[in-house]
Chains A and B, each alone.
Chain A
């Protein structure tokens, strides 16, 4: 971290380089919105618990192209369906999309024509976030995925964003996913890295009528990284969007998913956050039930150790006239150390009367009775604690459809919860 020098204004610094020539009008509009703005301060309600002061004093240079060894990230189910981006740039030699069925358009954004006008249009009418605009203004590259009408893609697609920062750099990964009517897709999006860097990814998703997207998101940034991500998803009539976000890395991370549901649409927005040391992880979600008969389900779990802090702000809005809405939200938090901290705020805003909405939040430590029960069966105290901690996390992982990914993540969670000595729980 000593290589970082304090800059006068982080935003201005990040925007100081030349504006890329592609998508110029989109970028210009974003820059206009950013003009004169500063990093949000904790006096702003949305950033009350997440202090960006440490970030404000840093400087990040432009991201150079680099090569990395991706062998440890490959998953057997996804041979021939991956696009790899290193330091924000497409890595053609590491990518391989040969197994993707005909009809699916799956290519780096730098190959897309600007006629791909959906970019930047998801969630129009809703104010753009600062880090979303920053991405729009300066994204280097990213992935475009278009699945045509009624095509059900059998193989999961794999997006790998890897950052290798020898000196502090800023990367702005961008993803656009468009599912036409009745299409189905499974997508795995992973973020890995080493060194000190800032990553501000933006993922835009449009699920048309009756289409289904399953989206697994893994954030394993380097312990010195800042990750400030935005997800915007619009789900059409009767469409389904299911996402699961697993946040393990980064010194400070923020996930900001926004989902709008049309009539009869379904969404799930699950999350698992595992923190240690001085990590801070913030999830600010917004589920907008804009039309009747849609349902949403959210289970957000945090396990916090060391001096780490987890923040959850989950907003559900049921618009006037959105009758028959069914929205369920749970925020569950486990504190493992004396100095860990959780701030959670599940929110309901309801403007229709014929709805079923509930939310719950719980913060605590492991149940002494459960610990006692395991010990009465001959397990030692440490193993009992680790098993229960693992169990707390594992229920978010159970339904990951890609077997090798599920297994890898379970191993990771077992290692993080010191449950490996218990044998294979996968």
Chain B
């Protein structure tokens, strides 16, 4: 870029504070005793302990995947704290006012609407702090229409049959290295159940935060939408600034039955490390939705701006006839960040449709890859896919890659993939500047235009946040 556009110093990570809360932790390391400890601590039934141990024993036989286009020091799994819970001052909270004030201040800094009275209209929040779900708002109101929205641990206690029926049904515990690890040690997460015919009256939201320096976060989310049900679910993530790497290995499972619809939106802003690549979160996440019923619909929307390393492929298994899978993604990398992200669309049922829109923006010394699979199985008569993967490069030392796998075994399928690469042109910037719009703002507008196909899929408050986040993240990278 031309020297007439000045390099502005990069803005620091805004969410990098540490909350000093006494935490109830287990010593670092992983063995069957740690798993038994976690399970006992959470008062789990035997079948769940067995599920964990089985996953752990399988995990021991697996090796860490190395096919992604990311390079990082492999985590030492014996140095990670597998259980860290904010220690309550009192065993139970009578009201929100009794929650540790430090913790409340944390969420105020994050801007999480934890107080019910201050909550953004119509957003019910489950907050997961390190490993444990701290509070869930609006649950009574949701319960009146039969919706279950609670922490995963609670669901295990109050709705064990539902959890047992669906846990691991989309992402088996042996699915991959990180999913197996998660299955062994997950500590909490969110559980959502929408009964038959119910359209969830408000967006549901979870806020994840890693606070402990040595802790890993292994949350588990399970969303089940019964016949004709629908729900929109939002997920946000931040972490404090440490100069060590923390591991985040979550598993998200979605199940949509006949004509059910699940929309899952994420704004991921885990700490990405500093500009030299020191510290930051390793985000190794398995997200998969099963369109089990006829005419079911699962839509993933993600805005990935954080994490030192991202390894994430939210997928749809289109099993039911006429089911629809969608993936809308913006992935932004700057400095030394590395992202290898994309989706898988597995067409099994007849007349299944999928859409993939992926926008990758790389700046600084970062590496940004789209990796996707569109698979049409022999019985998937009339399957249809459209994929578009665009990359934008800002600066000369970043990279952008596209690895789309297309496997078609049915001739009536129609699969199309397009990818382009572009940059922000001098001429575009000049045009904006001629009209009195400063370069930084112009860049932000161009990027927003580049990403608009994805942003318009986001719920309103997330779209606003995502737009701000992108310009914030790119400050200083465009010279």
User: B408 in the interface, Cβ–Cβ < 8 Å?
Assistant: yes
Known: A45-B67, A350-B399. A362 touches B415 (CB 8 A): yes
- A346 and B370 CA atoms in complex are apart in Å by 12
| In-complex Cβ contact of B411 among A335, A343, A347, A348 (8 A) | A335
| In-complex Cβ contact of B415 among A348, A351, A363 (8 A) | A363
| In-complex Cβ contact of B421 among A344, A346, A357 (8 A) | A357
Which of B409, B410, B421 has most A Cβ within 10 Å? Answer: B421
User: A341 in the interface, Cβ–Cβ < 8 Å?
Assistant: yes
Q: What residue of chain A has the Cβ atom nearest to residue B409's Cβ?
A: A341
Please give, as numbers and ranges, the residues of chain A lying within 8 Å of B403 by CB-CB distance.
345, 347
Q: Which of B434-473 contact A (CB under 8 A)?
A: none
User: A36 in the interface, Cβ–Cβ < 8 Å?
Assistant: no
Q: Which of A236-289 contact B (CB under 8 A)?
A: none
Please give, as numbers and ranges, the residues of chain A lying within 8 Å of B401 by CB-CB distance.
347-350
- A342 and B327 CA atoms in complex are apart in Å by 23
Contact at B419–A358, with CB atoms within 8 Å?
yes
- A323 and B423 CA atoms in complex are apart in Å by 11
User: A354 in the interface, Cβ–Cβ < 8 Å?
Assistant: yes
Q: Which of B393-408 contact A (CB under 8 A)?
A: 393-408
Please give, as numbers and ranges, the residues of chain B lying within 8 Å of A45 by CB-CB distance.
67
Contact at B415–A345, with CB atoms within 8 Å?
no
User: B413 in the interface, Cβ–Cβ < 8 Å?
Assistant: yes
- A160 and B193 CA atoms in complex are apart in Å by 69
Contact at B406–A353, with CB atoms within 8 Å?
no
Tell me the smallest distance from the CB of A289 to a CB of chain B, in Å.
12
Known: A342-B408, A350-B400. A361 touches B416 (CB 8 A): yes
Tell me the smallest distance from the CB of B406 to a CB of chain A, in Å.
5
Contact at B414–A345, with CB atoms within 8 Å?
no
| In-complex Cβ contact of A320 among B396, B402, B416, B422 (8 A) | B396
| In-complex Cβ contact of B418 among A335, A336, A344, A358 (8 A) | A358
Known: A320-B397, A353-B395, A358-B421. A347 touches B402 (CB 8 A): yes
Tell me the smallest distance from the CB of A358 to a CB of chain B, in Å.
4
- A344 and B375 CA atoms in complex are apart in Å by 11
- A365 and B422 CA atoms in complex are apart in Å by 31
Tell me the smallest distance from the CB of B343 to a CB of chain A, in Å.
15
Tell me the smallest distance from the CB of B99 to a CB of chain A, in Å.
48
Mask of A307-324 contacts with B, CB within 8 angstroms, 1/0: 000000000000011010
Please give, as numbers and ranges, the residues of chain A lying within 8 Å of B67 by CB-CB distance.
45
User: B417 in the interface, Cβ–Cβ < 8 Å?
Assistant: yes
Known: A359-B402, A361-B417, A362-B416. A353 touches B396 (CB 8 A): yes
User: B391 in the interface, Cβ–Cβ < 8 Å?
Assistant: yes
User: A338 in the interface, Cβ–Cβ < 8 Å?
Assistant: yes
Contact at A360–B418, with CB atoms within 8 Å?
yes
* Chain B count of residues within 8 A CB distance of the other chain: 35
Tell me the smallest distance from the CB of A381 to a CB of chain B, in Å.
16
Contact at A352–B406, with CB atoms within 8 Å?
no
Tell me the smallest distance from the CB of A172 to a CB of chain B, in Å.
32
Please give, as numbers and ranges, the residues of chain B lying within 8 Å of A350 by CB-CB distance.
391, 393, 399-401, 421
User: A355 in the interface, Cβ–Cβ < 8 Å?
Assistant: yes
Q: What residue of chain A has the Cβ atom nearest to residue B414's Cβ?
A: A364
Q: Which of B242-269 contact A (CB under 8 A)?
A: none
Contact at B404–A345, with CB atoms within 8 Å?
yes
User: A333 in the interface, Cβ–Cβ < 8 Å?
Assistant: yes
User: B19 in the interface, Cβ–Cβ < 8 Å?
Assistant: no
Tell me the smallest distance from the CB of A207 to a CB of chain B, in Å.
26
Q: What residue of chain A has the Cβ atom nearest to residue B398's Cβ?
A: A353
Please give, as numbers and ranges, the residues of chain A lying within 8 Å of B395 by CB-CB distance.
353
Mask of B364-402 contacts with A, CB within 8 angstroms, 1/0: 000000000000101000000000000101111111111
- A354 and B423 CA atoms in complex are apart in Å by 6
User: A340 in the interface, Cβ–Cβ < 8 Å?
Assistant: yes
Contact at B404–A346, with CB atoms within 8 Å?
yes
Q: What residue of chain A has the Cβ atom nearest to residue B411's Cβ?
A: A335
Q: What residue of chain B has the Cβ atom nearest to residue A309's Cβ?
A: B409
Mask of A36-58 contacts with B, CB within 8 angstroms, 1/0: 00000000010001000000000
Please give, as numbers and ranges, the residues of chain B lying within 8 Å of A359 by CB-CB distance.
402, 417-419
| In-complex Cβ contact of B405 among A338, A345, A349 (8 A) | A345
* Chain A count of residues within 8 A CB distance of the other chain: 37
Contact at B414–A348, with CB atoms within 8 Å?
no
Contact at A346–B419, with CB atoms within 8 Å?
yes
Please give, as numbers and ranges, the residues of chain B lying within 8 Å of A65 by CB-CB distance.
none
Please give, as numbers and ranges, the residues of chain A lying within 8 Å of B169 by CB-CB distance.
none
Known: A350-B391, A351-B399. A340 touches B404 (CB 8 A): no
Contact at A363–B391, with CB atoms within 8 Å?
no
User: B412 in the interface, Cβ–Cβ < 8 Å?
Assistant: yes
Tell me the smallest distance from the CB of A56 to a CB of chain B, in Å.
24
Contact at B421–A363, with CB atoms within 8 Å?
no
- A364 and B67 CA atoms in complex are apart in Å by 29
- A339 and B378 CA atoms in complex are apart in Å by 8
User: A337 in the interface, Cβ–Cβ < 8 Å?
Assistant: yes
User: B420 in the interface, Cβ–Cβ < 8 Å?
Assistant: yes
Known: A320-B397, A365-B411. A342 touches B406 (CB 8 A): yes
- A345 and B376 CA atoms in complex are apart in Å by 14
- A294 and B415 CA atoms in complex are apart in Å by 30
Tell me the smallest distance from the CB of B32 to a CB of chain A, in Å.
31
Q: What residue of chain A has the Cβ atom nearest to residue B370's Cβ?
A: A348
- A358 and B422 CA atoms in complex are apart in Å by 9
Tell me the smallest distance from the CB of B383 to a CB of chain A, in Å.
10
- A323 and B399 CA atoms in complex are apart in Å by 13
Please give, as numbers and ranges, the residues of chain A lying within 8 Å of B418 by CB-CB distance.
358-360
Contact at B406–A361, with CB atoms within 8 Å?
yes
User: A128 in the interface, Cβ–Cβ < 8 Å?
Assistant: no
Please give, as numbers and ranges, the residues of chain A lying within 8 Å of B408 by CB-CB distance.
333, 335, 341-343, 363
Known: A348-B419, A353-B396, A360-B419. A343 touches B405 (CB 8 A): yes
- A40 and B385 CA atoms in complex are apart in Å by 32
Please give, as numbers and ranges, the residues of chain B lying within 8 Å of A111 by CB-CB distance.
none
- A338 and B377 CA atoms in complex are apart in Å by 11
- A345 and B398 CA atoms in complex are apart in Å by 23
Please give, as numbers and ranges, the residues of chain B lying within 8 Å of A342 by CB-CB distance.
406-408
Contact at A364–B405, with CB atoms within 8 Å?
no
- A348 and B396 CA atoms in complex are apart in Å by 16
Q: What residue of chain B has the Cβ atom nearest to residue A357's Cβ?
A: B421
- A347 and B391 CA atoms in complex are apart in Å by 13
Please give, as numbers and ranges, the residues of chain B lying within 8 Å of A19 by CB-CB distance.
none
Please give, as numbers and ranges, the residues of chain B lying within 8 Å of A352 by CB-CB distance.
393, 396
Which of A321, A323, A360 has most B Cβ within 10 Å? Answer: A360
- A16 and B365 CA atoms in complex are apart in Å by 50
Known: A350-B399, A353-B398. A336 touches B411 (CB 8 A): yes
Q: What residue of chain A has the Cβ atom nearest to residue B405's Cβ?
A: A345
Mask of A217-251 contacts with B, CB within 8 angstroms, 1/0: 00000000000000000000000000000000000
Please give, as numbers and ranges, the residues of chain A lying within 8 Å of B402 by CB-CB distance.
346-348, 359
Please give, as numbers and ranges, the residues of chain B lying within 8 Å of A341 by CB-CB distance.
407-409
User: A73 in the interface, Cβ–Cβ < 8 Å?
Assistant: no
Q: What residue of chain B has the Cβ atom nearest to residue A367's Cβ?
A: B414
Listed A/B pairs (11) with beta-carbon separation below 8 Å:
A333-B408, A341-B408, A343-B406, A346-B419, A353-B395, A354-B423, A358-B418, A360-B417, A362-B417, A363-B414, A365-B411
What are the nearest 10 A-B pairs in CB distance? A335-B411, A353-B393, A361-B417, A364-B414, A357-B421, A363-B408, A358-B420, A363-B415, A348-B402, A349-B401
